[in-house]
Each structure stands twice: as C-alpha cells, then as structure tokens.
A and B are shown apart, each in its own frame.
Chain A
Amino acid sequence: MISVTHLSKSFSRLEVLKDISVDFTRPGITAVLGPNGSGKTTLIKCLLGMVIPDQGDIQAFGQPVKGQWTYRSQIGYLPQIARFPDNLRVKELIAMIKDIRGTAADEAPLIEAFGLETYLDKKLGHLSGGTKQKVNLLLALLYDTPVIIMDEPTAGLDPIALIRLKDIIQREKKRGKVILITTHIISLVEEIADEVVFLLEGRIHFRGTPEQLRMQYAGANLEEAIANLLLNENQATAVHPKLTQNHNGIALHKNLKPC
C-alpha cells in the first residue's frame, strides 16, 4: 500500500536517507530496525509527508504523496515523542481530533484497554511520560485505518499496557492491516514481527524475516545476530583510531597511511 523508490533526504550536509527503495504492501507486521540516527524516523516522516524528500518517489494507495494530505486519513500514526498542548484535558484532546477529522470514532475500548478512565479530566501537561504515551497510542489507533505506523510504541509503557498493546497489534494484524513499527526492543521484534527492515546509515542493509536475519549473521538469537551485523559493518567500513599502550599509559594513534 505504500511504496518508496530511490528516496534520498539530507538535512543540510547530513545525509540521512540514501537512495532507499522499499515497499510495505503485504499485510502483517514489519519492524524497522537500526541504530540511533540510521534514518528510521526520517523514513517514517517522509511516508507521512512531514519531511519532504530531496529525491525519489513515495506512493501511498497507488497515488504519489507529494503535496497530498487526504491519504493520511488512511494511516494511523504514532509519533516518537508524545507532545500535546499542555493546557488541554485528555477528553478535550480526543474530542478535538475527532472534530478536526470530522469522522466519528469510538475511543471507549481504547480508553479501557489502557486504563485511561481516571485521566480523562486531567490536563495533558500534568500527565506522566507513560500516560502521555498511552494517550498517544489512543490517538494513533482511534481510527480504523488500513495502515498503522508506530515510532517506538513501547517507550515508557508499563507491563500491563505493553501486553494490551501487543494484543491490539496482533488483533489488527489478523484483520489484514499493514503495520510498521520501529523499536529498539529486540524481544518485541522476535515476538511479533513478520518481517524486518534493517536500516544502517541511511541505507537498507537487510530485509527479510527475523529468522533469516538470525541465520545470515550467525547469532544464537536475534539480538546476537544484530550485534554481529553491526560489528561486521563497523570493521568493514570505519577507520578506527587505534588504541595502543606505551610507557606513558594509553595514547591514541590515528591511522595516517595515505588512502
């Protein structure tokens, strides 16, 4: 339902995404993995039209997204950081989003699932980080959209909310939705992901099932495989300053050989 071709984006001189082509069309859960700064959030923001790509083409539901906005009603989006107007109450926020979108939605099951009943009359500025994340999740899942994109959905959640969230994700998956998740929690990936897209320095380094990733990088589990992948990559590309010991203690030698 969403396909990306030759997408590039840089912020001033920092190249964040380098010629990425990927599509998210099959129903199921895709985990977008990668170290910090590998471009996960930028990729997601490009899909939603919040970041404008320098090059490349993004299509959602068969239409190019450039300059479009109506397609966003088909995507449930969970931003990485839950930021809301502080002086609004939770109830008012939900009502506002529903009013702005102009379509009806039933928030009651989600309020119950995340135990938000007691917070409905509280101002958003007074909520804890975890509770804000629950409100964030509620807004992302409020509408029945064919695509759900979640940027680090587990951040700050307590165990109960986490279990509820996994249940919801599994349920939505069974209903044939395309679900995109970025996370750093590998156990979550092992548990729910059907597919892994591994981003490294703005490129897609691997795409396949979690099992394939584990096999390819010879790890006893997924965590080890990813560690191996990152270590291999570092040895292959980076020129590291060499640490050596001399009489004066530790000194740093730069590799000064001409390249």
Chain B
Amino acid sequence: MLKILKYSFFDMMRSRWIYLYFGFFFAFTLSLFLISTDLSKVVVSLMNVILILCPLIATVFGVMYYYNSREFTELLLAQPIARRVIFLGQYIGLALSLSLSLLAGVGIPFVIYGIFQSADIWNFFSLLLNGVFLSFIFSGISFWIALKNDQQKIRGFGLALAVWLFFAVIYDGIFLLLLLSFSDYPLERFALGASMFNPIDLSRITVLLQLDISALMGYTGAVFQQFLGNGTGMLFAFGVLTLWLLLPLWRIGRIAGVKDF
C-alpha cells in the first residue's frame, strides 16, 4: 500500500497543476493579508473560498487523476498486489498531495503573519482541518465515480461535477426553500439534521461556530450553538465528517474487488 501511495503521490507532485493549486492559495492568502492584517478576518474570508474551492478542485483532480493513471493501474493489476491496495493507495496518494498543497498554500502566509503568537490559532486550525477533510471526501467521491465509470470518461466527469454542484449549491438552495416555506414550524432540529447530510454545510457550521459568529445565523444558529458549540457537539460533527470520509473509501474498496478490467 505504502509503495503505491508513494508512487501516486510523487506522480501528483510532478504535475504542474498541483503547484498551480498551491500557488493560488498562497497568492490569495497573501493578498488577503495585504488588505487586512487581522487574522480572524482573514480566516473568515478564506473560509468561503476553501469551502467551495477545495471540494471543486478535489473533485476535478479525483476524476482526472483516475483517468490519467489508467495505464499505471493496468500495469499494477497484473502484479501480485491486492486490488483494494492499488486503488486505495492511489486515492490516498492523491488526497494527500491535494491536502499538502492546501496546507502549504494557506499555512505559509499565516506563519509569516504570526499565527503562532495569535489567539486565532484554533480558528485557523479548524479551518485547515475542514479543508483537509473536504479534500479527502470530495476526491474520494470523484475517484469512486471515475472507478465506477471506468470506460466512460465524459460520464464520469459530468457525474462528479454534478455531485459537487449538488453539495455546493443546489443542496443549500433546496434547504433554504424548505426553511422559507415551512417557516411557521419549528425547524431547528430539521435544519440540524439536514446539515449532516452535506459535508460542505457541516464544515461551514463547524468553522462558524469555532469563530463564534453563529449569531449571524439567527435563531437556528442558537440551536446549532447549543448542540455543536460545546466539545461533544464538535466531536460529533467531526465524527459525521469521518463517516463521509469512510463512505468513498468503502465504495472504492468494494468496487475494486468485483470490477473487470
């Protein structure tokens, strides 16, 4: 497993796209610091970018990497290696390199501007942790979709992007619509439950709670604060995120075991 992981990791590190990804975060974070040196403001500004962009880039990289490394996969399939190991190794190598680009791109400017001396350090860590979770989850989902649509690139690409669009945009739209049309009823519990089914929402809520600006979310925010604001709530949220992470892992392992190549 480690060897496959190593090769796909270095393969990713050879690609210029991963440096572009790093460069974007680096430049973006630096420019935010040029506008304001208030660390917590920068964290909030970064939040929205990370919550939308990390899943998108991870989705695109996931499908692209799968289809581009098809030859490598074919070569490995004839070797004495378990199939599960081949695909999980490739996926983890991919997700690790994505996470590393994010961590370095966002982390370096923060270190330069003195995050370690700041009180915002936990907000910063929570943001990065959520970014890493989202990178893993969405590259996993798109890798899973690509594996499932092994021979149909266009279909795989389209489906993966549709999944991202659903979680990043459509889900919230439906969610808001429901909240509006049933606003006469107490919906706090429903809102809490519904946000568990969208990793992007879940990440957003944990970061907002961590930043202690849940007042922005109004009455519902209070319910979230009550439930997620304390230690156990936070643990629960990350537990659900971990479930989201395990879902593609489990599917990839399963499909790898029964697929014909």
Question: Measuring CB to CB, which residues of chain A are less than 8 angstroms from any residue of chain B?
Answer: 11, 45, 48, 50-52, 67, 69-73, 77, 79, 83-87, 96-97, 99-102, 139
Contacts and interface: CB of A to CB of B under 8 A. Distances in A.
A50 B259 CA distance: 8
Chain B's interface: helix, strand, loop or mixed, by majority? helix
Contact of B260 (A50, A72, A77): A50
Q: Which of B71, B72, B75, B76 has the most CB of A within 10 A?
A: B75
Contact of B4 (A70, A86, A100): A100
A67 to B, nearest CB: 7
B3 A50 contact: no
A72 B86 CA distance: 14
Interface stretch (B77-85, B121-129, B246-254): B77-85
Given A50-B260, A52-B258, A100-B3, A84 B71 contact: yes
B11 interface: yes
Nearest to B77: A50
For the complex of A and B, the 3 pairs showing the least CB-CB separation, nearest first, are: A73-B80, A72-B80, A83-B71
Given A50-B260, A50-B261, A85-B11, A79 B74 contact: yes
Contacts of A101: 79-80
Contact of A100 (B11, B70, B71, B81): B81
A218 B7 CA distance: 55
Contact of A99 (B3, B82, B83, B261): B3
Given A50-B261, A51-B260, A79 B79 contact: no
Interface of B: 3-4, 7, 11, 14, 69-72, 74-83, 257-261
B166 to A, nearest CB: 28
B261 A71 contact: no
A97 B81 CA distance: 11
B7 A96 contact: yes
Contacts of B83: 69
Contacts of B78: 48, 50, 72, 77, 79
B127 to A, nearest CB: 34
Contacts of B70: 83
Q: Which of A71, A77, A83, A99 has the most CB of B within 10 A?
A: A83
Given A50-B260, A100-B4, A100-B76, 4 more contacts: A85-B69, A85-B75, A97-B79, A101-B80
Contacts of A77: 78
A45 B261 CA distance: 8
A52 B257 CA distance: 9
Contacts of B4: 100
A87 B14 CA distance: 9
B257 A84 contact: no
A67 B83 CA distance: 9
A85 B3 contact: no
22 contacts: A48-B78, A50-B78, A50-B260, A51-B260, A51-B261, A52-B260, A67-B257, A70-B80, A71-B80, A72-B79, A73-B80, A83-B71, A83-B74, A84-B71, A85-B11, A85-B72, A86-B71, A97-B75, A97-B79, A100-B7, A100-B79, A139-B75
